[in-house]
Amino acid sequence: MSSQAIRQNELQRQEQAQESPWYGIDLQILTIYGLLLGIGLLMVVSASIGVADAQLNDPFYYGKRQFLRMIFGMGLVLLALRISTEFWIRHGMLLMLASILLLVLVLIPGVGRTVNGSTRWLDLGLFTVQVSEIAKLFLIIYLSGYLIRRSDEIKNGARGFFKSMVILAVASALLLIEPDFGAAAVLLMTGLGMMFLGGVRFGQFLLFVSGTLVIMVAMALASPYRMARITSFLDPWADPFNSGFQLTQSLIAVGSGGWFGAGLGGSIQKLFYLPEAHTDFLFAIYAEEFGLVGVAALIALYLWFLLRCFHIGKTALQKGRPFGAYLAYGVGLLITLQALINISVNLGALPTKGLTLPFISYGGNSILVMSFAVGLVLRVAWENHQPEERPLKRRKRRPQGVRA
């Protein structure tokens, strides 16, 4: 067969592939997303069945609500996939301002809803909104555009770097007032990771990281609430029936799992021993039921997600789409860092933060926002396969640069 015939066959295969409805859709990201949602649904049902039956006379109450949220989350994935990255470039500044406004609004007496001493929710009647989840994603979108607009300032001087850090610091301070120490930590770590990938000078990066750690330690020492959490974290067995109760029960659950666990539904700690077993401490029940092998598989899924996001981001850079690259980096860091912190809390390696395990813990706001974030990554991957940046159906005008 001649080289010309081979070339024609290759072009025909490419044309046939482009006609497929799955063309450009990253099936690896979809697979990871589907597996995590499936694990989450099984574990929420397993961990909550006793509590739901005793308190609500419906053993599948939390499982049914989790399933509905999964359906809405999938819808948000499709919605994000339909929106061009050009839209987010144009509206990055607006999203940043909306994030700050929401974080301020929730702190106004009578507006924000307080649960367990934390004011993190806006009650909209039919449902409540945890503003920190929305703010984290909006600020990542804004920062992705900022890294393009201020690229020279970030790489060649300190001004561009510190301007972005001021915005993140303001948002983090508002989160700490709620208080939501975990969300503030995830936001700062994700932002710093994106700035590092964006080419900030290492000395400036190291200086800000050191300063942030000093400030966080000082704030922890100055707050009796945070100090009590740190004390119970350092030695939970010193007061196993009071301040260290939740962590000790979590460690018992993890330690009981062994290599292969007790099997799905076989957890003992979920039977009214471990508080919040289907939310923040769901990982401990998972470890008890699936053991070390199951834990390794779950961690591998999150690591796979991070590596895939970085691959999509690297491809976007090579295609001349830096905004999509930083957006994929940011989403990968956000979800993986939150998973890492949640797992560390369950294992007693970090103080209790009140963060959910992405896609797995019971919690509507987290699933919906994280699902939308997955849709953003899928959109970046889809655009990487297109000859030029354009929406799914019709061409839109390329936006003019918006400076912030």
Q: Is the peptide bond before 179 cis (omega within 30 degrees of 0)?
A: yes
Which of the 8 DSSP states describes residue 402?
-
Listed residue (348, 116, 340) closest to 232, CA to CA = 348
Q: Is the predicted pLDDT of residue 231 greater than 70, yes or no?
A: no
Angle between helices 181-197 and 202-222 (to 10 degrees): 170
Structure-token pair, residue 86: 């050009």
Q: How far apart are CA 378 and CA 77, in angstroms?
A: 8
User: What pLDDT does residue 394 have?
Assistant: 43
Task: Please state which of the ranges 34-48, 154-168, 288-302, 319-333 shows the lowest mean pLDDT.
Answer: 154-168
In terms of average pLDDT, the best of 206-215, 323-332, 356-365 is 323-332
22: confidence class by pLDDT, cuts 50, 70, 90: low
Percent over 90 (pLDDT), the chain: 55
Q: How far apart are CA 152 and CA 65, in angstroms?
A: 48
Which of the 8 DSSP states describes residue 237?
G
Q: How far apart are CA 49 and CA 289, in angstroms?
A: 14
User: What pLDDT does residue 328 have?
Assistant: 97
Listed residue (35, 73, 44) closest to 302, CA to CA = 35
Q: Residue with structure tokens 């449902």? A: 127
393: confidence class by pLDDT, cuts 50, 70, 90: very low
Structure-token pair, residue 76: 């948000």
Give the sheet arrangement for strand 118-123, strand by strand: 112-115, 118-123, 128-130
Task: Please state which of the ranges 91-95, 153-157, 323-327 shows the lowest mean pLDDT.
Answer: 153-157
Q: How far apart are CA 194 and CA 188, in angstroms?
A: 10
Mean pLDDT (the chain, rounded): 86
pLDDT digits (tens, 9 = 90+) for 368-391: 999 999 999 999 999 998 875 444
User: What pLDDT does residue 68 have?
Assistant: 96
Q: Is the predicted pLDDT of residue 353 greater than 50, yes or no?
A: yes
Q: How many CB atoms lie within 10 A of CB 296?
A: 10
Listed residue (130, 119, 118, 121) closest to 226, CA to CA = 118
DSSP string, 308-346: HHHHHHHHHHHTT-HHHHHHHHHHHHHHHHHHHHHHHHH
pTM of this prediction exceeds 0.75: yes
Q: Is the predicted pLDDT of residue 401 greater than 60, yes or no?
A: no
Q: Is the predicted pLDDT of residue 402 greater than 60, yes or no?
A: no
pLDDT digits (tens, 9 = 90+) for 67-77: 999 999 999 99
Listed residue (236, 346, 348, 355) closest to 299, CA to CA = 346
User: What pLDDT does residue 13 have?
Assistant: 57
Q: Average pLDDT of 187-195?
A: 91
User: What pLDDT does residue 386 have?
Assistant: 81
Sequence-separated (6 or more) residues with CB below 8 Å from residue 282: 40, 43, 44, 47, 357, 360, 361, 362
For the chain, the distance separating the N- and C-terminal CA atoms, rounded to the nearest angstrom, is 57
Q: How far apart are CA 326 and CA 310, in angstroms?
A: 9
User: What pLDDT does residue 392 have?
Assistant: 44
In terms of average pLDDT, the best of 12-16, 30-34, 244-248, 318-322 is 30-34
